[in-house]
Chain A
């Protein structure tokens, strides 16, 4: 079974802080993704990566950056957290070709 692990289930931070969300997958997948889920908006793609050190902007990259130094790990960085970044953050991975994405359990982030 594919295991996608997000480092924190719940996180509370203050506005202006730099926030790191970590995601690790154990299946040697090439592709990794970061989404945020908000009520009524579904899942929106922030960034994705199709290889080590490669990254592509998704639909809502503003205020975020990512890092992929190793194949198994994909980090999402909030450079200066703001209250409108309070959300559920979901990480996913998949192999190449048409295969479903496998998701972690999410990090519920609150910015105060």
Chain B
């Protein structure tokens, strides 16, 4: 039972354009959502999060949008840079479960110069 899903295994974008990574979830009780970025041979690093009571959070080139009625969130990267090429994981957090995260399968973003 996959509670958090990233249906696109890969995405290719031109440098300078917008990258949009999508994530769907099934449990309406999730309290927070997070995005992590992972380079090969490194651990995931935290990128940005959003509380379930908000619909948008912005940090520099990165914006996360949450649509609770559709149980959907997306990460926008504008403008995309070659250094953004990595695997992006979305994750959901339930406050009453010891801080465990439920991860999606990941989307590999490739930003072409």
Contacts and interface: CB of A to CB of B under 8 A. Distances in A.
Interface residues of A, number: 29
Interface in B22-67: 31-32, 34, 36, 41-46, 49
A35 B32 CA distance: 20
Contact of B89 (A43, A92, A102): A43
A27 to B, nearest CB: 14
Interface of B: 6, 9, 31-32, 34, 36, 41-46, 49, 89, 91, 93, 95, 98-106
Contacts, number: 62
Contacts of B42: 105-106
B44 A48 contact: no
Shortest Cβ-Cβ A-B pairs, 4 listed: A103-B43, A100-B46, A42-B105, A43-B103
Interface in A44-88: 44-45, 48, 50, 56, 58
Interface of A: 4, 9, 31, 33, 35, 40-45, 48, 50, 56, 58, 90, 92, 94, 96-106
